[in-house]
Amino acid sequence: MSKEDIFSKINLKDYNNILENILEQKAFSEDVKNLLLSMLYKIENGYEDYETVKVNVISKKYFLKKIVQIIKEECKEIKLIRPLSEESKILEESQTNYIVEKENGKIIVYPNERMLLEAIITLNQKEIPIEEDYHLFSTSLETILQKGQRMNLVEVIRDFNGWSWDITTSQIENKNINILYQNLLILLGNSFLQTWITGEEKQNEDEIDLPNNEILRSKYNENFGMTKEEMQEENKIDYLQKAQEILIEKYGKEKAEKFLIQFIKTALAIGSNESKKQKEIILERQKEIGQKLEEMQDNKTYLENLSKAKKQITKQIKQIDTLLNDEKLLKEEYETRNSKLPNKKKIFSVSHLRIMLEKQREKHLKEIKENNKQMEPKEFVKTKKELEQKKEFYEEIGVQKGKRTNENKLVENLQRQFLECFLQKIEKAETKAQIRKYNI
Residues 6+ apart with CB under 8 A from 350: 330, 331, 334
**Would you tell me how many other CB atoms lie within 10 Å of the CB of residue 90?**
13
Please give the Cα distance from 397 to 263 (Å, whole number). Answer: 11
Flag whether pLDDT at 433 surpasses 80. Answer: no
Q: Do the beta carbons of residue 155 and residue 63 sit within 8 Å?
A: no
pLDDT band, residue 435 (cuts 50/70/90)? low
Please give the Cα distance from 195 to 210 (Å, whole number). Answer: 27
Please give the Cα distance from 212 to 92 (Å, whole number). Answer: 54
Flag whether pLDDT at 245 surpasses 90. Answer: yes
Single-letter code of the amino acid located at 75: C
Q: Do the beta carbons of residue 329 and residue 323 sit within 8 Å?
A: yes
Look at residue 206 in the predicted model and tell me its pLDDT. Answer: 34
Flag whether pLDDT at 220 surpasses 60. Answer: no
- How many helices (H) and strands (E) the chain has is answered by 22, 3
Average pLDDT over residues 40-58: 87
Average pLDDT over residues 248-268: 94
Share of the chain above pLDDT 90, in %: 52
Q: What Å distances lie between residue 240 and 264, 417, 439, CA to CA?
A: 11, 18, 21
Look at residue 223 in the predicted model and tell me its pLDDT. Answer: 42
Please give the Cα distance from 281 to 287 (Å, whole number). Answer: 10
pLDDT band, residue 224 (cuts 50/70/90)? very low
Among residues 51, 29, 33, 52, the alpha carbon closest in space to that of 41 is found at 33
**Would you tell me how many other CB atoms lie within 10 Å of the CB of residue 27?**
9
DSSP string of 131-153? Answer: -GGGTTTHHHHHHHHHHHHHHHH
